[in-house]
Structure 1
């Protein structure tokens, strides 16, 4: 079996909360050595984002929240107080021998400690330095702080999410998960990998990567923003209804909900046949997709009555052979009970000091030659401080203990 794709790549990760840590985890899954720098005593702020938390062997809660656990496997945790000069020297020492330096501090914060790009570049000219912020390194909002929901709002995502105008509960709505953080984490990974490739294959230099959540959410709105750029009109909220093929939306069945997305005229004709109403496909009001979009309310009302006549599984079975795209609206328990999800192995068991079989979501990438097989549990706060400082910087136990007493590590 071949080595993992990023074996030999060394990353110093000063990111916290979610977007940056998710990227560090992705890169760690792919074989990179990721050293996570955390504040002594409290660590990554994500450790406090609970409940729930893991409980220690004595049954006590601690700082291993589910929020932290989701984004920090395959890393080593080293505690360093970068506000102290000795701590700054530790970070600089580690930065001399890494390929990537990742951070998500406010713009200008790390310059106070001599840890900004220009300072790190002087000691490691080949460094790929990735800065992750809410608003980017430039612009009038650069100094502002922000979290995922702020960018869902400011970037336009909330304006196209939620019930349609005129329906009960209409108005802008946040997406349930921290989707902007996750997409930003993916962009960080793409940026880092691209810079590594450029440096290695193209003979390029190291560089500074500027990635922010606001840019990410705007870019992610894709066809929604293109509608605005073409027409000058902002797309309306459509609830669960689609924005391309029609019909598309959630239909209430006799025992639950089903999501249907019809992408072309052939699929629409087959859907009508399955529902026992083949004449709908020949109706001039619904003949072509543009007709169905214009008359969407009438069409969706008709289909709602048809779906309500039977169960979710009945319709799923009927639509399988004709190849009609649909699926049940699952809660989390049903997701993990799904035989396809089980076959794909979308969660893994890892050995954690507080939990012998801790369940984690696996990396979504599947390689034929370099499969991801090693999943190490998210580390306890400072779990690897002694190991890293002794192996990387030559510190002995006495020096490390002295630094602990001073609050440096």
Structure 2
């Protein structure tokens, strides 16, 4: 008999849409929670965020691939919050829920009686997670928040992109919605912390998660460089502000990454490339010295590998145990034998016949691994089953 899943028996009412909230609830779902996604008649915005689109068993276009990336293991029902019947059904579901996740604007659900104060009065153990752009209070609380805006306002774009004076220099967003995704993960860890607290005390609580707070936290060492050293981080292209050499280098057939995190790795790097004396040079002997002489380090390494192919350099450096690697396209990633061994790709079939490929839940739990039970749902496709399961 297989072990129960980590969150088996936990009921999650998902009133969120787009990415941050659905990313959180998909994690909970992957770990075994029963997640019910409540949508309006038009469905989650991302159902139409294509191309590309899924096709059903008859070859007809259905939901956007974007929707599929963050809504597996959920069941979908359609309810209209603007009607008394819809509101009452949500309230009834909330009375049965362990967790509720929503990403309406701050205070947006209060007029329906679906705010934390109203719902917790009838379900004191409810864990109510509110995800917004700017939080439940403060001067910006009323503003809508999208990932792109938050990457700009939260400082990320000021340190991403080519430096001033270089070709193509301008503030640059990251190529995936990292503020949304990190917010979803922070929301999930907070939910699990609240769940443990409830298991101890019986008390639920409200969780206030904002994209801006999350993005600021994710500045990590860059924030610390400013807060503790009054160093204003700048756009540095592919250079690292603190570690050298740690960047993209050109080779005869393209580019590769070399990432030395300490001086012993640097010594192995230059020895493998035929210049062991560089490790003894006072300009390069420590990371601080290399930071002071960044251009000289990078120039020397570039000269040493310029006539070599990417794969030749990787082979040389891997033998010397120096961190390095290629810059893969997305197809390259999923063709990589190690990625395939780690089973990073998951195949699912939806009730309408749509064949869906997705990325797997990354952590490998030895006793309660994630599972992939339900393909991203058809809009409203689970209405009767959910009402029967949750509300008898």
SS of 1:4 mapped into structure 2 = coil
Q: Is the 8 A contact 2:352 2:378 kept in 1?
A: no
Kindly state the Cα deviation for residue 82 of structure 1 after the two structures are TM-superposed: 0.7
Segments of structure 2 that go 5 or more residues without pairing to the other structure are none
Segments of structure 1 that go 5 or more residues without pairing to the other structure are 395-409
Kindly state the Cα deviation for residue 204 of structure 1 after the two structures are TM-superposed: 4.7
Structure 1 partner of 2:319 = 321
Task: Tell me how far apart the structure 2 counterparts of residues 143 and 307 of structure 1 sit (CA, whole Å).
Answer: 53
RMSD over aligned Cα, in angstroms?
Answer: 1.2
Structure 1 partner of 2:51 = 51
Task: Tell me how far apart the structure 2 counterparts of residues 61 and 196 of structure 1 sit (CA, whole Å).
Answer: 40
Task: Tell me how far apart the structure 2 counterparts of residues 294 and 48 of structure 1 sit (CA, whole Å).
Answer: 50
Kindly state the Cα deviation for residue 312 of structure 1 after the two structures are TM-superposed: 1.2
Q: Is the 8 A contact 2:249 2:257 kept in 1?
A: yes
Q: Is the 8 A contact 1:54 1:354 kept in 2?
A: no
SS of 1:24 mapped into structure 2 = helix
Kindly state the Cα deviation for residue 354 of structure 1 after the two structures are TM-superposed: 4.4
- How do residues 62-77 of structure 1 correspond to structure 2 at under 5 angstroms? 62=62, 64-77=63-76
- How do residues 40-119 of structure 1 correspond to structure 2 at under 5 angstroms? 40=41, 42-62=42-62, 64-119=63-118
Kindly state the Cα deviation for residue 355 of structure 1 after the two structures are TM-superposed: 4.4
Task: Tell me how far apart the structure 1 counterparts of residues 371 and 106 of structure 2 sit (CA, whole Å).
Answer: 37
Task: Tell me how far apart the structure 1 counterparts of residues 86 and 252 of structure 2 sit (CA, whole Å).
Answer: 62
Structure 1 partner of 2:285 = 287
Task: Tell me how far apart the structure 2 counterparts of residues 246 and 355 of structure 1 sit (CA, whole Å).
Answer: 51
Higher alpha-carbon deviation: 351-360 or 97-106 = 351-360
Structure 2 partner of 1:163 = 162
Task: Tell me how far apart the structure 2 counterparts of residues 203 and 353 of structure 1 sit (CA, whole Å).
Answer: 40
Structure 1 partner of 2:182 = 183
SS of 1:176 mapped into structure 2 = coil
Using structure 2 for the length normalisation, give the TM-score: 0.97
Task: Tell me how far apart the structure 2 counterparts of residues 370 and 389 of structure 1 sit (CA, whole Å).
Answer: 28
Q: Is the 8 A contact 2:53 2:61 kept in 1?
A: yes
Structure 2 partner of 1:344 = 342
Using structure 1 for the length normalisation, give the TM-score: 0.93
Q: Is the 8 A contact 2:32 2:371 kept in 1?
A: no
User: What per-residue deviation string (whole Å, max 9, x for no partner) do you get for residues 321-354 of structure 1?
Assistant: 3211111000011111111001000011111234
Task: Tell me how far apart the structure 1 counterparts of residues 363 and 230 of structure 2 sit (CA, whole Å).
Answer: 38
Kindly state the Cα deviation for residue 2 of structure 1 after the two structures are TM-superposed: 1.3
SS of 1:109 mapped into structure 2 = coil
Task: Tell me how far apart the structure 2 counterparts of residues 199 and 390 of structure 1 sit (CA, whole Å).
Answer: 26
Q: Is the 8 A contact 1:244 1:263 kept in 2?
A: no
Query: Which residue of 192, 213, 216 corresponds with 2:214?
Result: 216
Q: Is the 8 A contact 1:242 1:261 kept in 2?
A: no
User: What per-residue deviation string (whole Å, max 9, x for no partner) do you get for residues 163-214 of structure 1?
Assistant: 12221111211011101111001011001100000110x3151100000000
Structure 1 partner of 2:13 = 12
Structure 1 partner of 2:244 = 246
Task: Tell me how far apart the structure 2 counterparts of residues 55 and 343 of structure 1 sit (CA, whole Å).
Answer: 28
User: What per-residue deviation string (whole Å, max 9, x for no partner) do you get for residues 384-406 of structure 1?
Assistant: 01111233334xxxxxxxxxxxx
User: What per-residue deviation string (whole Å, max 9, x for no partner) do you get for residues 108-162 of structure 1?
Assistant: 1101111011110111111010100000001000010021010000000000101
Matched, 1:30 2:28: no
